[in-house]
Amino acid sequence: MNRLLGKQAGFPLGPTINAATKGIWAWITDHPTRPNHNLLLLDTEGLSHATDGDENRDIQIFVLSVILSSTLIYNCQGVIDESCLELLDLVSELSEHLVLRVDDEGNVINMDRIFPALHFVVRDFMLELVVDGQPCSPTTYLEHCLKIRRGFGEKTRLRNNSRDKLKSYFPNRSCFVLPRPVTEDEALKQVDEVPEDQLQPAFVDGVTQLVSTIHAQSEPKKVRGVWMNSRHLVEIARNCVLAFRQDKIPSVENAVVAVRQAECLKAVEMALQFYKIAMQDTVEELPLQEDELKRRHRHNFDNCAERTFAEYAIFDDDGEFYNRMKADIEKEYTMICKNNESEALRLCREMLDVLFTSIVQKKIDEDEYSYSDGHLEYIQDLQKVFVLYDEYPKKGPAYCARQVREDFENEKQTQTQLIHQTAGAVAKKEQEIETHRVLIELEKQQNADAQQALEERLDRLQIDHEENLRRLEQEKGEMREQYEERIRRVNSEKQHEIQIRDAEAQRISRELEHRMRLTQEQLDAQQRRADQSADQIRLLMQQNRNLEEGLRHANSRSRGGGGGCAIM
């Protein structure tokens, strides 16, 4: 055992009749030839030790050794005879102390998948290896000793039955023979302290061959073809010891079930844990599209959960724990889907609220929809909100985005109707204002036409007045010329006539002055009428300004209050 550890000393060697090893001692180290493997050595006390009075102790130690080991090394001394085949008695009683798997006919099933390889080590071997006069190997010597004997006696039957069971339980077996390590009896008592160069070369060679064979051929412990790790072995040992303490017979099947239960539950737990870790980044990215979330779920299930489960689970032939693992992960995935849905609903609603506030609510607050076509602009802006909302790609599941949009549209339906009603009221008020404006414009146009006609009449009067003045001046000049001509003719005729003419001229002059005075009065009257017309024009212009002021006031009232209607 110490040489298997690669040490000169380790497990104690007893120099007295008292056993140095009590129960089972364990030592674990790195496997010398197999990377990433450990070598676990179990050193048990000798069978049927004379000083202990526990009849079950040997069988319990043997049962634990069989169940836990992949290689069982059995020491005997001198030769393989009946005295050293105490193991056969244990094997014959094994079915009474260990419940094995058997078929319908009572035959043990697949013992090579449970029992270890058996190596007999015959210490202090001093004989020649010869069987039937022929040299043989130590293993051939072992098989010769286990050979069935002919006979019908009870003793022969029991002997053959024990050997049949040993060969059945341990199909993989071999034998090594070792001479005494030293010749002196005193040195033998402290053999672990004797330097190697002082040991017999044949012993050193035999031990070296034994260690090399064990290291090379010993496989990891397998049960039903599955390699056992430290957790598995602990669970098997716990199950057996518990059976011993309860005075029950250990069951290989129960041990397998216990290992299966512990490891598969661990596998389910670890698979779920690794799945959660793998999905953590996905959870932080929620919401996601259904297909993307499903893809990530399947990827993490296949590459994390299933692989982790396969690494830990054993003996899950019926898929019970695999299905439990799938159910747990499906439950976790369902919760993630619900979180994805709730996050999508929250994000979509928040997105619509932000878009609506920035595009529509701002105009509502500033009363920009309070005109006749305001509801059309409102609808256009609302559609702009939905277009931007639909273009955003990371909204989560499509049905969540549709649901939030439908709910939002239903919520804004009342507001849309209110804006439409307000726009109708504003349109009606604007129609009234427009009618009033048209009437004012018509009246203004009529006043302008009247003013233009009056100005044209004044222009004509002015022209007529100037024409009359020119005509009167012309007539006056002509009359003066006629008068002077007549004077000149009369002066040549009669002085009396001159006087008469002078009197007549004075009369005519007075008449002309009177006519000129009348004409001047007419011109003055026309001037006064022109001034009156100018006053009337100024009055009409003042009225037009008043009408324009009233129209501007009416327009201001329409823009400011919408005829008393307001959008909240």
Q: What is the DSSP string of 471-506?
A: HHHHHHHHHHHHHHHHHHHHHTT-HHHHHHHHHHHH
Residues in the chain: 568
State the pLDDT confidence band at 274, using cuts at 50, 70 and 90.
very high
Token pair in block for residue 406: 């439908």
What pLDDT does 568 receive?
Answer: 37
Which stretch of 35-39, 50-54, 152-156, 526-530 has the lowest confidence by average pLDDT? 50-54
**Among 110, 222, 99, 84, which residue's Cα sits nearest to residue 168?**
110
Select the highest-mean-pLDDT range: 34-38, 333-337, 434-438: 333-337
Write the pLDDT tens digit of every residue in 312-370: 888 888 899 999 999 999 999 999 999 999 999 999 999 989 998 888 888 878 777 76
- Class of residue 304 by CB neighbours under 10 A (exposed 0-12, middle 13-18, buried 19+): buried
State the pLDDT confidence band at 267, using cuts at 50, 70 and 90.
very high
State the pLDDT confidence band at 151, using cuts at 50, 70 and 90.
confident
Token pair in block for residue 60: 């319990």
Cβ within 8 Å of residue 174, ≥6 positions away: 117, 118, 119, 120, 138, 139, 142, 213
- Token pair 């893809």 is at which residue? 295
Select the highest-mean-pLDDT range: 308-312, 329-333, 542-546: 329-333
Classified as helix, coil or strand, 68 is helix
Average pLDDT over residues 73-84: 81
Residue 297 is assigned to a structural domain of this protein:
no
End-to-end CA distance of the chain: give it in Å, rounded.
Answer: 94
What pLDDT does 411 receive?
Answer: 81
Residue 413 is assigned to a structural domain of this protein:
no
Residue 374 is assigned to a structural domain of this protein:
no
Determine phi and psi for 339, rounding to 5 degrees: -65, -40
How far is residue 76 from each of residues 17, 20, 304, 413, measured CA to CA in Å? 16, 17, 51, 98
Average pLDDT over residues 281-302: 92
What pLDDT does 301 receive?
Answer: 94
Token pair in block for residue 311: 């690494």
Cβ within 8 Å of residue 299, ≥6 positions away: none
Cβ within 8 Å of residue 504, ≥6 positions away: none
C-alpha span between 320 and 198 (Å, rounded)? 60
C-alpha span between 356 and 385 (Å, rounded)? 6
What pLDDT does 102 receive?
Answer: 45
What strands, in cross-sheet order, belong to the sheet with 71-77? 71-77, 117-123, 173-177
Residue 216 is assigned to a structural domain of this protein:
yes
What pLDDT does 16 receive?
Answer: 46
Cβ within 8 Å of residue 497, ≥6 positions away: 490
**Residue 303 DSSP label:** I
Residue 28 is assigned to a structural domain of this protein:
yes
Classified as helix, coil or strand, 103 is coil
- Total domain count, the chain: 1
Neighbours of 173 (CB within 10 A): 19
* Vertex 353: Cα angle to 350 and 359 (nearest 5): 140
What pLDDT does 427 receive?
Answer: 59
Is residue 287 reached through a cis peptide bond, with omega within 30 degrees of 0 on the bond before it? yes
Neighbours of 56 (CB within 10 A): 11
Residue 220 is assigned to a structural domain of this protein:
yes
Write the pLDDT tens digit of every residue in 159-210: 788 788 888 888 889 999 999 998 877 777 777 778 888 889 999 999 999 9
Classified as helix, coil or strand, 538 is helix
What pLDDT does 552 receive?
Answer: 79
Average pLDDT over residues 284-311: 92
291 vs 254, which has greater pLDDT? 291
Residue 547 is assigned to a structural domain of this protein:
no
pLDDT above 70 covers what percent of the chain?
83
- Does the pLDDT at position 113 exceed 60? no
What pLDDT does 5 receive?
Answer: 84
- Does the pLDDT at position 31 exceed 80? yes
State the pLDDT confidence band at 550, using cuts at 50, 70 and 90.
confident
Per-residue DSSP letters for 355-399?
HHIIIIIHHHHTTTT-STTHHHHHHHHHHHHHHHHHH-S--SSHH
Average pLDDT over residues 145-159: 83
State the pLDDT confidence band at 96, using cuts at 50, 70 and 90.
low
What pLDDT does 188 receive?
Answer: 73
Determine phi and psi for 70, rounding to 5 degrees: -100, -20
What pLDDT does 281 receive?
Answer: 92
CATH number at residue 187: 3.40.50.300
Token pair in block for residue 557: 């009232």
Classified as helix, coil or strand, 24 is strand
Domain range spanning residue 68?
A: 2-241
What pLDDT does 19 receive?
Answer: 52
Neighbours of 271 (CB within 10 A): 28
* Identity of the amino acid at 492: S
State the pLDDT confidence band at 108, using cuts at 50, 70 and 90.
very low
- Does the pLDDT at position 506 exceed 90? no
Residue 516 is assigned to a structural domain of this protein:
no
What pLDDT does 13 receive?
Answer: 64
Mean pLDDT score across all residues of the chain: 80
- Token pair 């619509």 is at which residue? 352
What pLDDT does 157 receive?
Answer: 84
Write the pLDDT tens digit of every residue in 400-429: 988 998 898 888 777 776 776 666 666 566
- Does the pLDDT at position 112 exceed 50? no
Alpha helices in 125-251 (DSSP H): 138-145, 154-169, 185-189, 201-217, 230-245
What pLDDT does 58 receive?
Answer: 76
C-alpha span between 69 and 1 (Å, rounded)? 14
C-alpha span between 480 and 492 (Å, rounded)? 18
What pLDDT does 385 receive?
Answer: 87
pTM of the predicted protein model: 0.57
C-alpha span between 553 and 260 (Å, rounded)? 94
Classified as helix, coil or strand, 123 is strand
C-alpha span between 290 and 294 (Å, rounded)? 6
